[in-house]
Amino acid sequence: MADIKLLHDLRARLGTVIVGQEALLDRLVIALLAGGHVLLEGPPGLAKTTVVHALATSVDAQYQRVQFTPDLMPGDLTGSDIYDASTGTFRFIPGPLFHEILLADEINRAPPKVQSALLEAMAEHQVTVGGVTRALPLLFMVLATQNPLEQSGTYRLPEAQLDRFLFQIILDYPDLEQEIEISRRARKAHEGHVEEGLTAVLKPVEILALREQVNEIFIDEKIERYAVEVVTATRNLSKYLPQWGDMIQTGASPRASIALLRSAMARAFLDDRDYVIPEDIIELAGDVLRHRIVLDFSAQAEDINADTIISSLLNIINQP
């Protein structure tokens, strides 16, 4: 059985590599425990690539970064059958999806066919090439990035694919003191100093063992009902927030309820608790739900976003 102390060591190790972004680091460890994919959204220069590389290195995972572009093909992700003239047969060459952690950089720049290939991998942990279905590694995690400032040459991710991300994490710029520390570390890197924190503290097999322990976390029926009510309220907004009831085109699916409870269990485990508390649900609801809610143009006109709606629902739905 894997030692939970190793998990705390992992969280601390990530904190030595990334300045600030405490919520981001917590969510990444929670997603790793919950077996979920993560969508990171933020402007350039916020160390999105760095944190993914640090996570992969810290858990000794096979890692691959793919830059998504409009000319990317499905085979560039899945791999393809190559004819071997020496044997007269076709041989399958695995693509980047066969790594344990995949960084899909600027995911919304790739066309729909590529997204479909990625969706099968995220949903089923498998890829199909040439009529043959192949399983992906047991520890398979997609960490994707989006730049919200630049929309030219991008594609909107389909709702079915967004629903497969456990979290959408919104990143913001660091404060003054954090940015000073970032610049100091950058100067040291240019001077040839080795960045601390990029050694493995966990193995993939230990992560899988920790996931089994997460399954043992207790959820009281009242807390379970509370979490599911928060999710279903997004599909019946008129009942809870009648002033905004016609602003949502699509609410969160039952998969969101599963994701919210699963991530709450992982958060409890990370906090050395064997039970879920309401604060676990409240803390993670925004990251679990914001990308699963589709708003219409009237919401944009009134400057109402998904976070506003989620926060309001959490305020009016009675906690257990």
CATH of the domain at 299: 1.10.8.80
Which pLDDT score, from 0 to 100, does residue 150 have? 65
Residue 16: inside a domain, yes or no? yes
pLDDT grade for 192, boundaries at 50, 70 and 90: very low
Q: Span 167-192, mean pLDDT? A: 79
Q: Residue 149 corresponds to which tokens in the numbers above?
A: 């400032």
Same domain, 90 and 227: no
Look at residue 123 in the predicted model and tell me its pLDDT: 93
CA–CA gap between residue 123 and residue 102 (Å, rounded): 14
Of 175, 207, 239, the domain-final residue = 207
Percentage of the chain surpassing pLDDT 70? Answer: 94
Number of domains in the chain: 2
Q: What is the mean pLDDT of residues 111-137?
A: 91
If asked whether residues 192 and 94 sit together in one domain, one would say yes
Q: Does residue 53 lie in a domain region?
A: yes
pLDDT at 2: 60
The CATH number assigned to the domain holding 201 equals: 3.40.50.300
Of 139, 174, 207, the position where a domain reaches its end is 207
Query: How would residue 47 be classed by pLDDT, with cut points 50, 70 and 90?
Result: confident
Residue 227 shares a structural domain with residue 98: no
* Predicted model pTM: 0.90
Higher model confidence: residue 192 or residue 90?
90
Enumerate the β-bridge partners of residue 64.
Answer: 102
300, pLDDT greater than 90? no
Q: Which residue has the higher pLDDT, 288 or 241?
A: 288
**pLDDT at residue 194 above 50?**
no
pLDDT at position 11 is 87
Query: Are the C-beta atoms of residues 27 and 38 closer than 8 Å to each other?
Result: yes
Domain that holds residue 16: 4-207
Q: Which residues contact 187 (CB under 8 A, 6 or more apart)?
A: none
Per-residue pLDDT at 29: 94
Predicted pLDDT at 197 = 47
Residue 150 covered by a domain: yes
pLDDT grade for 189, boundaries at 50, 70 and 90: low
What is the pLDDT at residue 151? 67
Query: Of the candidates 207, 233, 264, which is a domain's last residue?
Result: 207
> Which H helix or E strand runs over 67?
strand 63-67
C-alpha pair distances (Å), 169 with each of 76, 88, 270, 276, 289:
26, 48, 19, 22, 11
Please report which confidence band the pLDDT of residue 122 belongs to, taking 50, 70 and 90 as the band edges. very high
Give the mean model confidence (pLDDT) for residues 212-217: 94
Shared-domain flag, residues 199 and 146? yes
Residue 82 resides in a domain: yes
> Could you say which DSSP state residue 218 is in?
B
Q: Residue 190's pLDDT is what?
A: 55
Same domain, 67 and 99: yes
When pLDDT is cut at 50, 70 and 90, the band that residue 121 belongs to is very high
Query: Residue 13 has what pLDDT?
Result: 85
- pLDDT, greater one: 190 or 227: 227
At 152, is the pLDDT very low, low, confident or very high (cuts 50, 70, 90)?
low
Top pLDDT among 78 and 87 is at 78
CA distance 37 to 122: 8
In a domain, 212, yes or no: no
pLDDT of residue 15: 82
- Count the residues in the chain: 320
Q: Are residues 192 and 52 in the same domain?
A: yes
Report percent pLDDT > 90 for the chain: 57
Task: Supply the mean pLDDT for the chain.
Answer: 88
